Amino acid sequence: MHLARLLLLAVLVAAVLAVPPVTGARTSPLIVDHTAADLDPIPAPAIEAARAQLHVAYGHTSHGSQLVDGMAGLFTFAGAPLPPSTYAFNEGGSGGALDLDDYFVPGDLGNPDRTTWAARTRAYLDRPENRDVNVVIWSWCGQVSSATAADISTYLSLMSGLERDYPSVTFVYMTGHLDGTGTGGNLHLRNEQIREFCRANNRVLYDFADIESFDPDGNGYLARGGDDACNYDGGNWARAWQAGHVEGRDWYWCNAAHTEPLNANQKAYAAWHLFARLAGWNPSSATPTPSPAPTPVPLPGAVEAEDYRPGGFSDTTPGNQGGAYRSDDVDIEEIPGGYAVCYVRDGEWLEFDVTVRQPGIHRLDARVASPNDGGRIEVLVDGAPTYTVTVPGTGGWGSYDVVGAAEERYLDPGPHTLRVRFPRGYLNLDRFQVTARTVGDPVTVPGGSGPPRDRDGDGRYEDVNGNGRSDFADVVLFFNQMTWIGEHEPVDAFDFNANERIDFADAVRLFSTL
């Protein structure tokens, strides 16, 4: 009886192993091709999610290095839609970068043969220190050009086996690079074999060949003898495009084995598209709807950045990359409690219709977020420069803080046009608050950058220099200007030790609160 049960169990196990597995829960294929070679649509939260969630192992030789070298070049590319540091990667993911183990084992999909890569992958994933790896990518060198249909079937079978045995890992398929043989060559036929398998079985494909078949304007070169170096029957499309565009703004130089920098640029853009998609970003999920035209905003009061007047903007990238609130080209995303204008780039601006109900001296505070120092906002009233806000790093794109303008200005009653421009962007703007200064409000201390601020609402103005934060510089300014503060400021606002006078003990108490 025990023998019969063992035989039955063996039959059941064999039957289970013979059934083709279903990889993950993917219900449609993910094909990353030339249409994904664009960084602009990828929002910052999607990049941040990829860096937080993914642990990538990438195996390749020289042709596959185009992808990583292109990604490395992004670190200093000022023309990137987000600060270049956003696209950081390293082995281990230190500093919040994407964790990418480059050259995780030797070889590629055809080197030293067409099967060793799979065994090396298994050995790598089986090591305890690699248990966090959840994405594996392998590239070809030139072996698809000489591959038979059976060779590609072997590749697809080995990939399917890995997917079955490591269900928590996403295995990314790849096509081979162009060789100049066009649409009738063996390379194209074998690449089509890979594509068809991925489409039919809901796999993830990084279409290396398709990415290098098109220039950034969508012109195709496969049928015109395009090869991996970007040569075709009319010359070299990458060199021509680079010559007609500005390096450092439209494209960037990087190491690019066997090809031109522009090709590696596009491979890097597509790689980040892939990573963002694997981390959950869905480009088609955003359904922006137009908001009602905002009415003139009464001042003093709050002006929400997303409520600019219809057509009152200049945005350097097409479409609403944040996918929220409005359907024009201003990038708006949803944040806790409302919306914010995001992905702000140098030179962009917004305009608002406002009505000043209370004439007099007004101050302006902006609620902003940025991972970088050096942002700058200028506010013009009826075309005249009025306020300037210098934006420090707040700790991240989602870490909002209030920063005051350096000036206090008299505003006349009645309707006005406010233009908010960004000479230095790379910041998010939630709103700005215009407040009328009343008698008794603190004024700018000599040497400060703006009126002091009560940032915690306790009635004491710990931000003595008015730069939007409380630190040792406030203690120094307070100490140096104690006499002036005692003569010109409301005592209660700076009486930190509550002894009803301004003296050295207040400086000590202010220091102790930092």
Under 8 Å between Cβ of 433 and 379 = no
| Integer Cα distance of 428 and 437 in angstroms | 26
Residues 230 and 100 grouped into a single domain: yes
pLDDT at residue number 327: 82
| Integer Cα distance of 226 and 214 in angstroms | 9
Q: Is 168 within a domain?
A: yes
Under 8 Å between Cβ of 187 and 145 = yes
Residue that wins the pLDDT comparison between 293 and 359 = 359
Domain stops at, among 243, 258, 278: 278
What 3-state DSSP class applies to 419? strand
What predicted TM-score, i.e. pTM, was given to this entire model? Answer: 0.59
Element (H, E) at 505: helix 504-512
- CATH number of the domain at 414, please: 2.60.120.260
Distances (CA, A) of 126 to 99, 121, 158, 169, 511: 18, 9, 16, 12, 54
pLDDT at residue number 53: 95
Residues 210 and 100 grouped into a single domain: yes
Q: Is 5 within a domain?
A: no
Distance of CA 434 to the CA centre of its chain: 31
Residues 269 and 298 grouped into a single domain: no
Instruction: Find tokens 């991972």 and name the residue.
Output: 371
Given a cut of 70, whether residue 7 has pLDDT beyond it is: no
DSSP 294-351: PPPEEESEEEEGGGPPTT-EE-SSSS-TT--S--SSS-EEEETTEEEEEEE-TT-EEE
Residue range 307-356, pLDDT digits in tens: 999 889 999 888 888 888 888 899 999 888 889 999 899 999 999 999 99
Considering 32-41, 111-120, 341-350, 454-463, the range whose residues carry the highest mean pLDDT is 111-120
Please name the residues in contact with 17: beta carbons below 8 A apart, sequence gap of 6 or more: none
Residues 147 and 274 grouped into a single domain: yes
Range of the domain at 168: 24-278
What 3-state DSSP class applies to 71? helix
Under 8 Å between Cβ of 375 and 424 = yes
